Structure 1
Amino acid sequence: MVQPQGAEEDPPQSSDSPPSQSKNAFTFNKDIVPPKKPPPSKGYAHLFKYVVVGDSGSGKTALVRRYSKDEFVLTRDYTIGVDFDIKTVPISNGDEVKLQIWDTAGQERYRTITTSYYRGAQGIIIVYDVNNQGSYFNIKQWMQEVRRYCNDDCKIVIVGSKSDLQTEGAEVWGKDKVKLLLDLDEDSEDWESVGVTGYFMVSAKTGERVEEVFECLTQALVTERLNARNPLRAGGTIKLGKGKAGGAEEKKKKKGCC
């Protein structure tokens, strides 16, 4: 078995404590039995740590839930501190990739806690609300924070969430405006030149383009790692298969990239 590199092992969980610190994990209602944490995946060849950041209420938790559990729950509860999820994804060479996905709180009072989770991250997902001007302008602040606390080779993806909430006549802070904010030429798709691996506008409610966000990071990281191990195959790519959330096959099919 190939030993995973570059990510921390799963945090220890005691038998009498919940697997996360988020209200969204259904641990604060005594009438509801907390869900069991899925068993750890065995035999994976790669282990990657992803940290999801962004303003409070930007849609981070909904994004993670849609990807890891293929579900959408409308809630006004905010994440407290950090929440944690796991997903295992097979790739075309027969190996499996294990993803640690950390959903962080966006409130300023939790910032000293959440910044500690940047350590060892290979991928950062910056989420903002395409219908919220303030959330849009704070992208640069999150970029600065990521660059301050993460390794130089950490990959960043920017996600504009809640695309399903666009209303006629309302201004949408979408892809073109993000390019303007990051001083990227309007006609350019060279996101790497501004330190970004990719940009996606998504809807956690409908599932539109959610898988692409994580596939973009995972494919880039796996391909980069394998190319580094074998320079003769440099330029090749690894395709991802269907993922497993907690050992269950994911029901949602991959959407086409546009």
Structure 2
Amino acid sequence: MSSVSNGISRERIININDSLRISNLHKKELNFKFVIIGEFGVGKTSIIARYTEGQFSSTYKVTIGADFALKTLEWDEDTRVNLHLWDIAGHERFGSLTGVFYRHAVAAAIVFDLTRPETFSSIEKWLSDLRKKVHLPGGQNIPVVILANKGDITVQTVPPELEDFCKANKILAWFITSAKNNLHIDEAMIRLTNAAIQNHCNLQFPLITDDIVSLADEAPKNNTKRNTCC
């Protein structure tokens, strides 16, 4: 029996790889589109590059229109999630195209720049535009997180009203991020992914509500069943 230097036999390695391949054939794959939005120069492109490629550069070109990258997550034993991260240009001249770029999005991150506090004032504009142009089936708003980016340079400019803004506008969460130092980007994306999966399951298997039950008054209430996610 042949072996490799760490003591694991070649046959064992082949068996492990075959088991992984067979297991992957039976995994359920989910494809989610996330949009990353905010003013130009706040670091959207660098956040996406850090998350999908594990790289950072200080010399990214200005995004023209939109660009996207792919991140695959082995979510659990049965589920693989493919995240399509759309980098939406922050320049005003592309504003009329956001409806096209938002189409089929199931979650969003709105980014502002802690070194340019004025970019926080644009968050409300981006949120309003997003919520007018994209919804989940049934009209539900897509989940949103806010990223206070460039936290490697300063955190002194975090707006004191940020927490209240998030509560008032039903923002899922906010994070101080840094593409350079890879700070809290994974956590933010995991939070969005978890929300997207929950919405996916709820939309596929909606919970029985009182309104639905009332349409069939003759049905015994104790027979009402609650569906759970896959």
Establish whether TM, by shorter chain, passes 0.5. yes
- The answer on whether the counterparts of 2:145 and 2:172 sit within 8 Å (CA) in structure 1 is yes
In structure 1, give the amino acid aligned to 2:141. Answer: D
- 1:73 Cα deviation (Å)? 0.8
Distance in 2, Cα, partners of 1:145 & 1:82: 16
Distance in 2, Cα, partners of 1:122 & 1:211: 18
Q: Which stretch has the larger CA shift, 203-212 or 114-123?
A: 114-123
Deviations 1:151-181 (A, max 9, x none): 13311111110000118xxx4124x33124x
In structure 2, give the amino acid aligned to 1:121. Answer: A
Give the total of aligned pairs: 183
Which of the residues 43, 49, 71 maps onto 1:87? 71
- In the alignment, structure 1 segments of 5+ residues that lack a partner are 1-40, 185-190, 239-258
Distance in 1, Cα, partners of 2:127 & 2:98: 15
- 1:233 Cα deviation (Å)? 6.8
Which of the residues 130, 133, 150 maps onto 1:162? 150
- The answer on whether the counterparts of 1:52 and 1:126 sit within 8 Å (CA) in structure 2 is yes
Matched, 1:172 2:157: yes
Higher helix content, 1 or 2: 2
Q: How does 1:20-59 map to 2 (within 5 A)?
A: 44-59=28-43
- The answer on whether the counterparts of 2:46 and 2:60 sit within 8 Å (CA) in structure 1 is no
- 1:227 Cα deviation (Å)? 4.7
The two structures, once aligned, show a CA RMSD in angstroms of 2.5
Distance in 1, Cα, partners of 2:61 & 2:197: 34
Distance change >3 Å, CA 91–CA 230, structure 1 → 2: farther
Corresponding position of 1:115:
99
Corresponding position of 1:105:
89
Matched, 1:220 2:160: no
- The answer on whether the counterparts of 1:132 and 1:173 sit within 8 Å (CA) in structure 2 is no
Instruction: State the 4+ residue runs in structure 1 displaced beyond 4 angstroms.
Output: 41-44, 230-234
Distance in 2, Cα, partners of 1:199 & 1:138: 15
Distance in 2, Cα, partners of 1:165 & 1:213: 19
Q: Report which structure shows greater RCO (CA 8 Å, sep ≥6).
A: 1
Corresponding position of 1:249:
none
How high is the TM-score relative to the length of structure 1? 0.64
How high is the TM-score relative to the length of structure 2? 0.72
Which of the residues 169, 172, 192 maps onto 1:194? 169
Which of the residues 115, 129, 137 maps onto 2:113? 129
Q: Whose radius of gyration is greater, 1 or 2?
A: 2
Corresponding position of 1:147:
131
